[in-house]
Amino acid sequence: MARSAEQIVEEGLSRYGSGREAVMQLLTDVNNELGYVPEEAMRAIAKAVGVSNAEIFSVVSFYSFLSIEPRGRHIVRLCKTISCAMKGSADILQALKDDLGIGVGETTEDGRVTLETTSCIGLCDQSPAMLVDDVPHSRLTPEKACEIVRGLE
């Protein structure tokens, strides 16, 4: 049975403590397990570390790898920096959108894939590149990118 956001936060507090320095790890744990950070988790973290709900929300909304909305089982993040753009990332993005039937920031109807863009992932010398569930894929073509995503369960 899946754990609740509050249970994840409680376990994290026992591991990381209740200081401000624990906020990112707590948010990451919740996001990794649930696929997003629900309001109840943000409230529990804010209360535990003694900061406002708004401060926790500002952290979640700042970092692109955290989400306040439920996402798919697989997260596809296509790099949007200049080196990837110069090597055709716009064509790859369009191919992924067409193949999945969704736009950037959206999730497929079956909850399988969420498509996102992101800033540099450190593979500029191998561009264009994307992360699929935090696993890098480089030297992409539209066909190769779609083939990778089609292979996700």
**Helix or strand or coil: residue 79?**
strand
What is the reported pTM? 0.81
Domain extent listing, the chain: 5-62, 74-150
- State the first-to-last Cα distance of the chain, in angstroms, to the nearest integer: 21
List the Cα angle 7/9/11 in 5-degree steps: 70
Which CATH class for the 74-150 domain? alpha beta
Per-residue pLDDT of the chain (153 residues; tens, 9 = 90+): 678 999 999 999 999 999 999 999 999 999 999 989 999 999 999 999 999 999 999 999 998 889 999 999 999 999 999 999 999 999 999 999 999 999 999 999 999 999 999 989 999 999 999 999 999 999 999 999 999 999 998
CA distance 2 to 28: 17
CA-wise closest residue to 132 among 73, 63, 67: 73
Question: 59 — phi, psi (to 5°)?
Answer: -70, -50
